[in-house]
Amino acid sequence: MLLIAAKVIRKTIPVFSFVFLVLITVVIIQGLFKPENETALFQIGPVVMYKEGLLYALMITLRVTNIVSSFMILVLTTKPSDLVETLVRKGMSPRIGYVIVSVFQIIPEMISSMGTIMDAQRARGMETEGNLFVRTKAFLPLLGPVILGSLINTKERAMALEVRGFNSSAPKTYLNEEKTYNHSRVIQSVMLLLVVCAVTWRIFV
């Protein structure tokens, strides 16, 4: 429901189709083979579906769907940079924040440099196409230049950050305004209350 409200339901379709594929096998296996299976529900030829297994599988399905949905909402509606910026405002170290956000951007850059390095070796006659063995053999020696290259880049980037006052002791300011909505306090409190209730219920009941 929330997924629909956030207009990201379409992007979740591929993820859900994969998840459901896995879940269907869970349903079948649990329905057929769960050790506590007693009550036969229905029978297709020699195959018997049992009630206990099916209920258990249903529970797993609900849980997984729940977890996946909430995770998708977080990922699809929140830019990582916004999330981290908010955390930094709430007191997380800006250094850790930087590391988290930059990883998202630096990884694509590393992948492209990997491509160049691969090309450079192919240019000198290294066989990189073919069966798995050939490819693995070609891949391992390439890690050296990739790692070295990113180390060199890291040193240069560290210097570039330093000269832009990364370690300044001045209180940090932000380009983006903190977005506060009238209802956000209320929502936050209600959410907190719900979590507390749920936890208490799990522990005591």
Give me the residues that bind another protein (CB under 8 A), please: 79, 81, 94, 97-98, 101-102, 105-106, 108-109, 113, 116-117, 119-130, 141-142, 144-145, 148-149, 152-153, 156-177
Least Cβ distance, residue 21 to another protein (angstroms): 28
Least Cβ distance, residue 77 to another protein (angstroms): 16
Closest to another protein by CB, 164 or 183: 164
Closest to another protein by CB, 11 or 79: 79
Closest to another protein by CB, 35 or 108: 108
Least Cβ distance, residue 87 to another protein (angstroms): 13
Least Cβ distance, residue 26 to another protein (angstroms): 38
Closest to another protein by CB, 22 or 148: 148
The CA distance from 98 to 88, in Å, is 9
